[in-house]
Structure 1
Amino acid sequence: MATAQENEKKILSFFRDIWSEANLDVVDQLLDPDFNFILSFAHIKDRESFKKLVQFNHQAFEKLTYHVDDEEGDVVADETKGAGFWRMTSKHVGMWRNIPGSNKEVEITGLSYFKFSPEGLITEVRVHNDVMGLMQQIGGIELVYAS
């Protein structure tokens, strides 16, 4: 079983190496073959499908970067689970969720909850993010508030 500190490093690598740098070799090192990636609007059920999601997002969003500050306590973990608070910045340049590239700079925040296997691999990530804010920023929806 991995230590809490080892799992914190894996969470940081998940954001830095996989999401920000699109280093798909790291997927095989960190994620269980039956890995689950769960969003409010999608459920990815294995490593290969997750790799495709990362590639797709890097085509739709230029300079996709996840900012996680481990010195500020944005990442916590124990031997079986962990969480990371993040901020994503990018530029929307390609089709995403049927919305053509808007060339707009975007920024959202989110929290990802991680589960680890006894072997120390990431088995599941549940993401809670501001997808509505992202959709608004790229012109996918207009928020209307009643007064």
Structure 2
Amino acid sequence: MSPNASAAATAQVMRQVTEELFNAANFDRLDELVAADFLEHSPMPGVRPDRQGLVEMIKRGREGLSETHTQIHELIAQGDRVAARWTTTGRHTGRYLEVPATGREITIHGMSFGRVAGGKLVEHWTQVDTFGVLDQLENDRTN
């Protein structure tokens, strides 16, 4: 496989994880997209850093935010590594980051990095603008 084809395949895995797991919550595709020995280097507090923890993290997010959608704005891959800059939008309809539901629409900005092997995501790191999210949840910007 050429380096360009390898990078394209790596990018496609991140794209599919985003669409199938985060956007569609289609956990039937988990085994196909995420390695059994997956390691999350940036797990949510109280969530295991493995494949089941990834599912739990997505489900917890969907409990606090309805109508969620993640959009990848930039996706860069080289070899087995991939980087994505993304936003997630949703309505705050349940407890999220310890803040009771406000009904507000929020936007979460973040970046994720992954390592892919055998066509599956095997490692993942993420950085989220948590202060920006808390500001949106705690401060009414409609006035």
Please give the range of the TM-score, normalised by the shorter of the 2 chains: 0.7 to 0.9
Q: Which residue of 1 aligns with 2:98?
A: 98
Alignment of 1:1-147 (within 5 A): 3-39=6-42, 42=45, 44-69=48-73, 74-117=74-117, 119-139=118-138
Percent identity (aligned): 21
Give, as a single letter, the amino acid of the residue that structure 1 aligns with 2:123.
E
What are the ranges of 5 or more consecutive residues in structure 2 without an aligned counterpart? none
TM-score calculated relative to the size of structure 2: 0.84
Q: Is the 8 A contact 1:114 1:124 kept in 2?
A: yes
What is the rounded CA distance, in whole Å, between the counterparts of 1:135 and 1:121 in structure 2?
32
Moved runs in structure 1, 4+ residues, more than 6 A?
A: none
What is the rounded CA distance, in whole Å, between the counterparts of 1:111 and 1:46 in structure 2?
19
Task: Deviation per CA, 1:96-133: give whole Å up to 9, x if none.
Answer: 2322111111012111011122x232111111121110
What are the ranges of 5 or more consecutive residues in structure 1 without an aligned counterpart? 141-147
Tell me the CA shift for residue 38 of structure 1.
3.2
Q: Is the 8 A contact 1:38 1:44 kept in 2?
A: no
Q: Which residue of 2 aligns with 1:144?
A: none
Count of aligned pairs between the two proteins: 135
Cα RMSD (Å): 2.1
